[in-house]
Amino acid sequence: MSVKFVESSQLPTPWGVFDIHGFEDAESGKEHVVLTLGDVSDGQPVLARVHSECLTGDALFSMRCDCGAQLQAALEKIAEEGRGVLFYLRQEGRGIGLMNKIRAYKLQDEGADTVEANEKLGFGADMRDYSLLKVMCEHLNIGKVRLMTNNPRKVKALTDQGVDVVERLPLQTGQNPHNAKYLATKSGKLGHLF
Ligand SMILES: Nc1nc2c(ncn2[C@@H]2O[C@H](COP(=O)(O)OP(=O)(O)OP(=O)(O)O)[C@@H](O)[C@H]2O)c(=O)[nH]1
């Protein structure tokens, strides 16, 4: 594992002043960030969100997915509790990258669902790798989490790396007519729990 901690600083947000921790993967050149609020290293379960980058949803307000709404809801919930962690992983497009995600969108415009579109481009349905979470959790001394997700793969990924997921909290928000088919495919083909 070539992921290394780089530096920490502060990040004021509309929901409070978070700490921001930078990590880089020398092998892939990818840079990731983790936001924390409060003392997350005290051994108590930490309210957590593992979020994969979605430039279109997180930064450009896209309604084709539920990513931006989930990101905001997660930060709000962490702020409400005054303690928690957001792992922001730069695995755009479920790991296929931004340009390929736009190619996949075009195929979806033409009738494919989100899984078929990935496959037509020669990718698996979900190419994400969560193994870097181990280094991040160890660095922050996080051993137990209450995970905000609808995705059972994230629960398994953390558990496989020795992080105890003591609770899964559904994160259902951002549904709209533009993402109805996408969300139905996630629950029908990708095993998302809704
Ligand atoms: N390939 C592809 N990726 C997409 C599409 N729509 C959204 N994404 C990506 O899907 C990922 C969604 O990430 P998350 O919200 O962390 O994960 P999730 O699997 O939806 O699980 P939870 O939100 O935790 O329930 C992001 O990387 C998005 O860029 C799409 O149509 N095709």
CA distance 153 to 83: 24
Indicate the pLDDT class of residue 28, thresholds 50, 70 and 90.
Answer: confident
Q: State pTM to two decimals.
A: 0.96
Angle in degrees, CA 32, 8, 12, rounded to 5 = 90
Indicate the pLDDT class of residue 22, thresholds 50, 70 and 90.
Answer: very high
Q: Clarify whether 64 is annotated catalytic.
A: no
Domains detected in the chain: 3-91+128-187 (3.40.50.10990)
Angle in degrees, CA 155, 157, 158, rounded to 5 = 70
Is pLDDT of 37 > 70? yes
**Distance from the CA of 128 to the center of ligand 1, in angstroms?**
10
Nearest atom (ligand 1) to Cα of 89: 16
Strand-pair category, 164-169 with 144-148: parallel
Residues with CB under 6 A from ligand 1: 51-54, 65, 67, 70, 91-94, 96, 101, 104, 114, 118, 149-151, 154, 171, 182, 192
**pLDDT average, residue stretch 67-91:** 98
Q: What is the mean pLDDT of the chain?
A: 96
Is pLDDT of 1 > 90? no
ipTM higher than the 0.95 cut = yes
CA distance 192 to 183: 9
Q: What are the residues whose beta carbons fall under 8 Å from the beta carbon of 180, sequence distance 6 or more?
A: none
**Distance from the CA of 5 to the center of ligand 1, in angstroms?**
25
Nearest atom (ligand 1) to Cα of 67: 15
Q: Clarify whether 83 is annotated catalytic.
A: no
Angle in degrees, CA 112, 113, 118, rounded to 5 = 85
